[in-house]
Chains A and B, each alone.
Chain A
Amino acid sequence: DAKTTQPPSMDCAEGRAANLPCNHSTISGNEYVYWYRQIHSQGPQYIIHGLKNNETNEMASLIITEDRKSSTLILPHATLRDTAVYYCIYYNYSGGGADGLTFGKGTHLIIQP
């Protein structure tokens, strides 16, 4: 796993969309971008992942730039329960092996009432 760059903290008003950026300029062509979050005193929770197309699930949307050097996680209607540390990580395991995740410092997202 290699390094990503995320802002250390962000605020967002409840009910608004939260847009969390991540730079991964050294990503290679077969590496996926993953987002996890960690709510206080809980284990990390998987949110979403993608390779090059934009992805959406029940939790969030993932927008990956065409050059794949950055991505944005979008929480469309943030609630107080979305307050957490959000980690952006990239890797490709399908080629073999099962190395664990290398977490950066993440972004502490605080949802304001």
Chain B
Amino acid sequence: DAMVIQNPRYQVTQFGKPVTLSCSQTLNHNVMYWYQQKSSQAPKLLFHYYDKDFNNEADTPDNFQSRRPNTSFCFLDIRSPGLGDAAMYLCATSFGRTNQPQHFGDGTRLSIL
């Protein structure tokens, strides 16, 4: 029944080694979001795709990139992970230009060695 699916749930990578996190959805929502949540903090928006249009938050580091090859999938790429990038990464979806709620996946917890 999961509608926003994130794989894997846990990811370990080495300092400086590129890593990709994935998100898929079965809701056919046109907007997909990526949030970062560090330990004991609230989620923080990194960027979102409105259809094929990429929208970056002003304070999102250049180290973070995203790809959306089709409606159902979205990827988060971290080009050179640092120790400060260890966090839970949450994917969410919604219908744009409505007040319908966002639907979240259960996140990928990223650890950096």
- Which A positions have Cβ atoms within 8 angstroms of B? 32, 34, 36, 41-46, 49, 87, 91-106
Contact = CB atoms under 8 A, between A and B. Distances in A.
A49 B101 contact: yes
B106 A43 contact: yes
A82 B18 CA distance: 37
B70 interface: no
Nearest to A45: B104
Contacts, number: 72
B45 A104 contact: no
Given A43-B104, A98-B50, A100-B35, A93 B97 contact: yes
A97 B45 CA distance: 15
Given A41-B106, A101-B102, A106-B42, 6 more contacts: A41-B109, A44-B90, A94-B97, A94-B98, A98-B48, A98-B96
Given A98-B31, A104-B42, A49 B50 contact: no
B43 A101 contact: yes
Given A98-B31, A100-B35, A42 B45 contact: no
A44 B45 CA distance: 13
Given A43-B90, A43-B105, A100-B48, A105 B98 contact: no
A91 B50 CA distance: 17
A34 B101 contact: yes
Contacts of B98: 93-94
B81 interface: no
A95 B48 CA distance: 18
17 contacts: A32-B99, A41-B107, A43-B90, A43-B92, A43-B105, A43-B107, A44-B43, A44-B102, A44-B104, A46-B102, A93-B96, A93-B97, A94-B99, A97-B50, A98-B94, A100-B45, A101-B35
